[in-house]
A and B are shown apart, each in its own frame.
With several copies, the nearest count.
Chain A
Amino acid sequence: LETVPTIKALRSKAEAIRAAEFEKAVSRLGDGLSKKQLKAVEELSKGIVNKLLHGPMTALRCDGTDPEAVGQTLSNMEALERMFQLSQVDVTAMAGKQ
């Protein structure tokens, strides 16, 4: 459960990146797109984020029964918070910064 805020922070970070890139693309694409095409482009952006984050997200979830697994989950969490600088995103996350 310690990893819950990290999951949220990682989701927020990824969504911010996705939304910014999507907006940029939409402004470049202009009005020439149908609603359906625009939807397909948005699905593309979400698909990439989801597929890319599936591994890290899975690594943040494990039931807290096996003590070894818990340790690994926590070290995954710390690594992700360092790498994605999530401590700036979420105040409840207490990550070591570089």
Chain B
Amino acid sequence: PAPAAAASVAAVTVAVAAPPAAPTPAPVAAPAVPSTSASPSSSAAVNTLFSMEEEELSSDQIQCKEALRAGKRLLKEKNGAAAMVRFEKALMLSKALADKVQERRAQRGLAASCRLTHQYRQAIKHLERVLEISREIGEYTGDADAYGTMADCYTDMGEFEKAAVYYDKYIERMNRDGPI
């Protein structure tokens, strides 16, 4: 999932959803985000068109935030499977928006969901993407956490050598000052 690809996906989606003859600036009601949505990416893209000009946040952005929030709540309730669905939605939306900060949140949520459902390899993959995004945006908040959680996953799988490598990275970073 290279950043360029994510950006072009967003461009294409918007282009498809935006027929040139649609200048209706109808006052669309602020979307009371639906708690269940069959096909999030397509419906979200359509909403984008209308809300872009009026709202400070686009419908996609609102839906993405909403999905992240719902995912976090489900994580707290230890419902990994349901949380994963929310974070998948947030991931797609954040990619469509080319919003790396939100994508990182979605990836973190997916990692946590995978851990809850004992999919440790998958969790590690999401956390690797978290670290990748940190490098891309030059903002490393939570990287110590990510390394620590990857090590926890390796520990859970009994791969102590790998775990030790990642705990070392975690320990190296945990004493650093975060952003001021």
| Touch A–B, Cβ below 8 Å | yes
Residues on A facing B (Cβ under 8 Å)? 1, 4-5, 7-8, 11-12, 24, 27-28, 43, 46-47, 50-51, 53-54, 57-58, 61
Q: A4-B163, A58-B171 are in contact. Are A47 and B151 (CB under 8 A)?
A: no
9 nearest A-B pairs in the assembled complex, by CB-CB distance? A50-B174, A54-B175, A4-B160, A1-B160, A8-B155, A57-B171, A4-B163, A8-B152, A7-B167
Q: From residue A9, how far is it (CB to closest CB) to chain B in Å?
A: 9
Residues on B facing A (Cβ under 8 Å)? 141, 144-145, 148, 151-152, 155-156, 160-161, 163-164, 167-168, 170-171, 174-175, 177-178, 180
Q: A4-B167, A11-B148, A28-B180 are in contact. Are A50 and B155 (CB under 8 A)?
A: no
- B162 to A, closest residue via Cβ: A4
Q: A4-B155, A28-B180, A46-B145 are in contact. Are A61 and B167 (CB under 8 A)?
A: yes
Is B167 within 8 A of A24, CB to CB? no
Q: List 5 A-B contacts (CB under 8 A).
A: A5-B155, A7-B151, A7-B163, A46-B145, A57-B170
Tell me, in angstroms, the Cα distance from A7 to B144 when the chains sit together.
14
Q: From residue A48, how far is it (CB to closest CB) to chain B in Å?
A: 11
